[in-house]
Chains A and B, each alone.
Chain A
Amino acid sequence: MDVIAYLIPVALFLGIVGLVGFFWSMRTGQFDDLDGAAMRALRNDDGSMPDREPASKE
């Protein structure tokens, strides 16, 4: 049963990584436009990213 001494912290750590990732994605505005995100998937030319400059076209 000693293995739980590693497993539980590992499980918690992975969970926290996911949680931090989620907060990061929310803070960077990735949840601001869920409808648009679904539609942008149809586009091929990965145009300007949000908050990234300057927009490189062509």
Chain B
Amino acid sequence: MTAIGQPDKPAPVAGSSIADCCDASALADLTSEVFGVQPVDPASITISDPSAFVAMDNDGADHLHLLVENLHCAACIGKIEGYLSAQSGVIDSRVNMSTRRLSVSWKHGEADPAELMRGVAALGYPVAPFDPIDAAKSTDVEEKRLLSALAVAGFAAGNVMLLSVSIWSGHAGGMGEGTRTLFHWISALIALPAVAYAGQPFFRSAYTVLRNGATNMDVPISLAVILASAMSIQQTMQNAQHAYFDASITLLFFLLVGRYLDRRARAKARSTATHLLGLQAQAATVIDPDGGYRSVRITDIKPGMTVLATQGERIPIDGDVVTGTSDIDTALVTGETLPKLASPGSAVFAGTMNLSAPITIRATVAADRTLLSEIVSLMELAEQGRAKFVRIADRVARIYAPVVHILAAITFAGWFLLTDAGWEPSMLAAIAVLIITCPCALGLAVPVVQVVASGRLLRAGVLVKSGDALERLATIDTVVFDKTGTLTLGQPMLSGGEYTDADLALAASLADQSKHPLSRAISLVASNSERQALSDIREVPGHGIEGMLGSDRVRLGKREWCGISKAPAWNGGSELWLTVGQKRSASFHLADTVRSHAKDVIDKLRSMKIDVELLSGDTPEAVTPLAQSLGIENWQASCLPASKTKRLSELADSGKTVLMVGDGLNDAPSLVAAHVSMSPAGAADISQTAADLIFQGSSLAPVLSAIRIARQSTSLVKQNFGLAFAYNAIAVPIAVFGFVTPLVAAIAMSTSSIIVTLNALRLRLVK
């Protein structure tokens, strides 16, 4: 991180560039009210130097790619792009909603990238630079290739089908042989190049597995498509009645639809994961012995180096404080709600947040030896112990491919040996079997359900991070919760006290200047009240914050510091006092609140016959009342990360499949160890990276909706497989005995695909 001056441009009026058709201010409010996107004081934002990520193109424009957090709706796009394009020198800025990335370009040297980043962050959208030449690029290419193949297959299928329908009507209406053959030739002209192009994803995959001596779904698909096309040419040359060009190309079309949807779902899950990883990578500022500052990768920090941690920054390394006194938020590491005071000599840990003042730290360990990296290695250990999960679709495919091959071979042999039809009709029957059994319905069954399910989950505020998370989530019978930050919000909320509205407004005017959780709680409650102008505001770490109102000293903080001695103590949580000189005083009571719907969710889980457990790192005194009020009987307090994973493996050994819901660093190993895991959007980065699903908002309800949607979608997938098998059970005998004309094949394939798709779309309807 380099030293960056104050931004010279204030953030523009929120929502100023948003459509008039949907009330601009209403939309802007939406971002803050519904999604909690709050403008941030620019001075408090620390930005690491992005210049290493800036690339210059031939036109003399600089480009920078950024990962953006908190993107939700059209208003977010409008705010960010509106802000950036109003800056001098900026040529173009574009938010990509799907990948949650922002690309911005400016005339070389005419804008400061760090300044632009700070401006966007000040709107309430944290940003991190990233190198666009990473793995994400190649997956994008694959997705585009599938889409082009899909387009070509769709074009060809439509036109060939047009000709085929004419031919089929011609069978009844007396189409001449010449016309029919002409139509077959035109079909061939369209279908063959299309098959050669659109079939490549399947051919390539089939070739790869065959070379390795294995087989997968793509082998019978490729075989069916190639044989059907070849056979059709041969039939056309002989002026025969039937050709299967339409069958081979529509087959590819349906399969490509499924492939493309599947690819997109996976790419989306992966981009969520890489997004989190990208935000995690950060640099630290090292102070050299000669007093110079330089930016260093966290992994390059050596013991003995002096590291600067500014206000609002995560502490990069374990070490001892050298200079400065500040409050340190350790909630993500230990699960404790209230910050701790750190002064010269006290130990601080990587991953904790420095709240109130800059401090310098002498690193005591190398970066791979921090508390944080110990948790990472614990996670790796847990990962190895996790049983490999095989998706239903893959399990089906394992049986499916050999069965289809054997069926086709038997059909050919049966016709060739038992009848005197010769090799040609035998081959046609075998090809018919391959076409009819082709997994159109199977290929669509899973992806369509997955797309609909992740759409519903997104609306319920749940992001899916791994492709098989839904299937695993559907099988769980136990939910293990963490306490701080998971069952509770992990941040104190104003719960009572003795104060007037004027006191609250005055307290908020002070609290706005601080990142302390208690101050934040006050600011949040008073977000709509008028602020008062105070001068000489300063934060006294460990005590509170003070400022001057006219000639009166106003203090907000601990009772002793504010000079209150008589008032009775409050034991339900933390308290803050406000004093204005000697004139008046007020008190605020703050307590960590339980997430909304928590009791409801736990009751409903129980009614679904799912066991609920609570594993917390907090003290028994803090856990008992919560467990009682939520009706959780199985709970453990004072859990270390290792004892949480131990409990999870006990549960796994007793045959339980466990959903772990947690947010802290101390939960990360157990998130990996569990069968499937969720974490709230406010969780530690490393926990979000470890979790399979992430839920947003302050309610616990998404956990329940996710389980429900997972169960519904898995049962739909199974239904769809059932439908596909029922269809095969009817269609295969027809094919084996040689009754499948191209018309029958077309009808059978289309109806089965349509039925499966419609069945999947039912997921949209169920509540």
Interface residues of A (CB under 8 A from B): 1, 4, 8, 11-12, 15-16, 18-19, 22-23, 26, 31-36, 39-45, 47-48, 50-55, 57
Closest to B17 in A: A45
Q: Please give the distance in Å from A21's CB to the nearest CB on chain B.
A: 10
Give residues of chain B (743-765) contacting chain A, Cβ–Cβ below 8 Å: none
Give the docked Cα–Cα distance between A4 and B182 (Å): 11
A45–B152 Cα distance when bound, in Å, is 35
Q: What residues of chain B lie closer than 8 Å to A57, measured between beta carbons?
A: 85-86
Q: A18-B155, A33-B99, A47-B17 are in contact. Are A55 and B179 (CB under 8 A)?
A: no
Known: A40-B74, A47-B81, A47-B85. A32 touches B18 (CB 8 A): no
Q: Tell me if A42 and B22 are in contact (CB < 8 A).
A: yes
Chain B: interface residue count, which band?
35 or more
- Of A19, A26, A35, A53, the contact of B98 (CB 8 Å cutoff): A35
Total A-B pairs, Cβ < 8 A: 88
* A1 to chain B: closest residue by CB: B179
- Chain B residues near A48: list those with CB within 8 A: 81, 85, 92-94
**B77, A39: Cβ atoms closer than 8 Å:** yes
Q: Is the CB of A42 within 8 A of B97?
A: no
B305 close to A (CB within 8 Å): no
Which interface residue of A26, A42, A53 has the most chain B CB atoms within 10 A? A42
Interface centre among A39, A52, A53 (most CB of B within 10 A): A39
Contact with A along B50-89 (1 / 0, CB 8 A): 0000000000000000000000011001100110011000
Enumerate B136-172 residues with CB–CB distance to A below 8 Å.
144, 147-148, 151-152, 155, 158-159, 162-163
CB-based contact B19/A44 at 8 Å = yes
Q: CB distance A32 to B81 under 8 Å?
A: no
Does any Cβ of A come within 8 Å of B21's Cβ? yes
Least distance between A46 CB and chain B CB atoms (Å): 10
Chain B residues in contact with chain A, CB under 8 A?
17-22, 27, 73-74, 77-78, 81-82, 85-86, 90-99, 144, 147-148, 151-152, 155, 158-159, 162-163, 179, 186, 190
Q: Which residue of A lies closest to B96 (CB)?
A: A33
In the assembled complex, the CB of B139 is this many whole angstroms from the nearest CB of chain A, namely 13
Q: Which residue of A lies closest to B20 (CB)?
A: A44
B179 A43 Cβ-Cβ under 8 A: no
CB neighbours (8 Å) of B179 from chain A are 1, 4
Q: Note all chain A residues with C-beta closer than 8 A to B77.
A: 36, 39-40, 43
Residues in B neighbouring A53, C-beta threshold 8 A: 91-92
Asked whether, in the complex, the Cβ of B97 is within 8 Å of the Cβ of A39, the reply is: yes
Given contacts A11-B159, A23-B151, A43-B74, contact A36 B186 (CB under 8 A): no
Please tell me if the beta carbons of A42 and B144 are within 8 angstroms of each other in the complex.
no
In the complex, what residues of A have CB within 8 A of residue B147's CB?
A: 26, 31
* Known pairs A32-B98, A36-B96, A47-B17 / 19 extra A-B pairs, C-beta < 8 Å: A19-B152, A23-B148, A26-B148, A33-B97, A35-B97, A36-B77, A39-B97, A42-B74, A43-B17, A43-B18, A43-B74, A43-B78, A44-B21, A47-B81, A48-B85, A48-B92, A48-B94, A50-B92, A55-B93
Q: Which 5 residue pairs of A and B lie closest in terms of their CB atoms, listed nearest first? A: A36-B97, A44-B19, A39-B74, A42-B74, A35-B97
Minimum CB–CB distance for B152 against chain A, Å: 7
Residues in B neighbouring A8, C-beta threshold 8 A? 163, 186
Name A55's closest neighbour in chain B (CB-CB). Answer: B85
A12 to chain B, nearest CB (A): 6
Q: How far is the CA of A15 from the CA of B154 in the complex (A)?
A: 10
How far apart are the CA atoms of A55 and B18 in the complex, in Å? 16
- Interfacial chain B residues near A50, Cβ < 8 Å: 92, 94
CA distance A41 to B147 in the complex (A): 23
Instruction: Report A-chain residues with C-beta under 8 Å of the C-beta of B85.
Output: 47-48, 55, 57
Contacts of A45 in B (CB 8 A): 17, 19
Of all chain A residues, which has the CB nearest B90? Answer: A55
Q: How far does the Cβ of B208 sit from chain A's closest Cβ, in whole Å?
A: 26
Contacting pair B91 A55 (CB below 8 A): yes
A40 to B19, CA, bound (A): 9
Contact A47 B82 (CB under 8 A): yes
Contact A12 B159 (CB under 8 A): yes
Query: How many angstroms between the C-alpha atoms of A22 and B358 in the bound complex?
Result: 55
Chain A residues with CB under 8 A of B19: 42-45
Bound-complex Cα distance A56 to B474 (A):
51
Q: List the B residue with the shortest CB-CB distance to A27.
A: B144
Measured between beta carbons, the chain A residues less than 8 angstroms from B90 are 55
Query: B158 to A26, Cβ gap below 8 A?
Result: no
With a cutoff of 8 Å between Cβ atoms, the chain B residues found around residue A31 in the complex are 144, 147
Most chain A CB within 10 A, of B20, B99, B155, B179, is at: B155
Chain B residues with Cβ below 8 Å from A43 are 17-19, 74, 77-78
Given contacts A47-B82, A47-B85, contact A39 B73 (CB under 8 A): yes
| Contact, CB under 8 Å: A36 / B95 | yes
CB pairs A–B below 8 angstroms (26 shown): A1-B179, A15-B155, A22-B151, A23-B151, A26-B147, A26-B151, A31-B147, A32-B96, A35-B97, A36-B97, A40-B74, A42-B18, A42-B21, A42-B74, A43-B74, A44-B18, A44-B20, A45-B17, A47-B17, A48-B92, A48-B93, A51-B92, A54-B91, A55-B91, A55-B92, A57-B86
Which partner residue on chain B sits nearest A37 by CB separation? B97
Residues in chain B near residue A15, CB distance under 8 A:
155, 158-159
A49 vs B277: C-alpha distance in the bound complex, in angstroms? 30
Beta-carbon nearest neighbor of B151 in chain A: A22
Interchain CB contact under 8 A, B190 and A12: yes
Highest count of chain A CB atoms <10 Å: which of B21, B73, B151, B158:
B151
The answer for the CA separation of A13 and B100 in the assembled complex, in Å, is 39
A36 to B19, CA, bound (A): 15
How far, in whole Å, are A47 and B80 apart by their CA atoms in the complex?
12
Which residue of chain A has its CB nearest to the CB of B16? Answer: A45
Inter-subunit contact B73/A26 (CB<8 Å): no
| Cα separation A34 to B74 with both chains bound (whole Å) | 13
Once the chains are docked, how many angstroms separate the CA of A4 from the CA of B186?
12
The contact of A19 among B91, B97, B151, B162, by CB within 8 Å, is B151
Residues in chain A near residue B144, CB distance under 8 A: 26, 31
With both chains docked as a complex, state the minimum distance between the C-beta of A35 and any C-beta of chain B, in angstroms: 4
**Residue with the greatest number of chain A CB neighbours at <10 A, chosen from B27, B78, B158, B179:** B78
